[in-house]
Structure 1
């Protein structure tokens, strides 16, 4: 029986990798514009980091993490998300000693044992940003603006921001009690998951995919009606900044996100043409997370984007365009002596940053010309016994079909000149 990739994982062949590189290059450029630098964290961490950082009642921790015991008897987990890892790195390197906003972005694989489906895998890639060190509402608006600029430059224009505030440690306990009181005589109307959430983290009941709409119709209390003065002011200022730069949003009181560390701003960006599964980005503020994992009280905010889902969206909308590289030069060699010379010329061209290939399959001249066409060669350089004797090569322009003789020792200079003219 053939060995295949594990369920929920996939290979990316060179043609697909070119699409990833296009997206990654766009992300790096936009992040640089906004002053964000790349951070790279380990693929696995101590399990305790995610228990404390994400929250023990979340679906990620209770149902989806890949956890194992290493040879030293320590519990380790493949990272299911990267915010907790970024925060751990921020603390470990004592970056909190610098009085500034630390701006990070990351791209890389995450791991969750979920049901595989289109654009959703057990090993998946996320792009995300984290801004740590400031509670200013302008930071919230800035990272949302970064996401919007990226999506718009990729061609996704029909975007709507869903925005909410989930309060803070001052006002959320009061709201939590309001929810408990509201559901005291309605527990039987909730699904099994929600009954369990109600005991551990009542806010997450609103996040229920099955009963969320039903709860709204039941008149469930809304967090936005129970914000303290500070949270209300912060929420209003975020909206004002977004309005000032023309980012459309709707206030969504059901939006609480799936992780326990969120405070104040929570948001998702929807792309309407995707229909029911329209979320392309989600994030929020996590002012209590750094203290939760053992550091000083430090505000932070971030978002994450599933890159497979984003690439799938671009493909479905006909927006995935990969830049075509400069066509290579293909050297057709006839005979062993010509092949040896072709190898030297190939390396000389590459040394001058000109892509070049020779035949490695022992093909006939006809077969080599077919290979040149298949490779999309811009020029074919032909070397046979006669060319060797005259110390020259035949250079054929594959577009115009024009062919001229060029001295071997002038080939690199000739190709450099012609590449500039193309």
Structure 2
């Protein structure tokens, strides 16, 4: 059974938490004690119905303010697929939270209040989705019950968003009219909108193709751990454990160990404690090489025929996530997959307005939630790919050396 990671985004009160709660409730992915706790909290409601939003808004402060203030991850499954949902905040000051939640997502659900239509937050979240190269977009037009399930309202919003999608290069966009509170078009098709001929939301999520998003040609295998038991039974055992983030590996295939550039061949591949002749993304394996070469955590083993770029100067789009401003010349640690090296932000060219995608002149500092185009110099040359070409090997983070806090998300250009 495959796994779909997706993120929900929208303006405050568009119904993100209600939608996720409805998916969890209607797919029967709620523990009995959770359900009993929610039922106790909704006893005082006039109609006695469960508020689905309470299943996701776990923090007391969130409920008091009626907003989601952090990225909340939820897991659920159906007989057809497993899901991990990231619920991102709607406020503009939480851009960093959306970037965090969207970085590993294969699909984004952009919620739009049918009464409000396309608003500034809709454009901002769509821009971030385009910057992060999220492959698939679902526009869920919510609260259709409050506009009398009007087909004209739905069509007008589709027309407005289609223009945004065309401008941003969002090609795979699906539109679904829903009422998250009442469950219309969430799990089952509703009789209230007979004019809608598409799938209900959950059925679409269960059947949408995601395998095409996995690159099976450019092999990238970051080494996470070197296995050397050095026991009497396994005296000569040397295996390199990690996850194939893209591509396919075969026994006997010529490979190169980067950044050293050492060439060798694949001797054995272990997957689930068995020897296999081939392995592919996103499998976790133990790789054995023909030659006894020096390989450490952070090195990347790649097919010699598909070498990545390699440099100690990286051009990046950087989303700043720290309350302490970024200054040109600041030193950090940069982590790309399992490799962590010292780095310095050498130059900042300009800022990017996440509401318009326009370039803004750099004014000397970068504040929380701002996105900039920058150059980062690393202590050693790193093997990398453009984020646009291969997200798995093109996204990195900046880490504060003192506090060990993640302060920036980088999309390598």
**TM-score higher than 0.5 here?**
no
Larger Rg: 1
TM-score, length-scaled by structure 2: 0.21
Per residue, is there more strand in 1 or in 2? 2
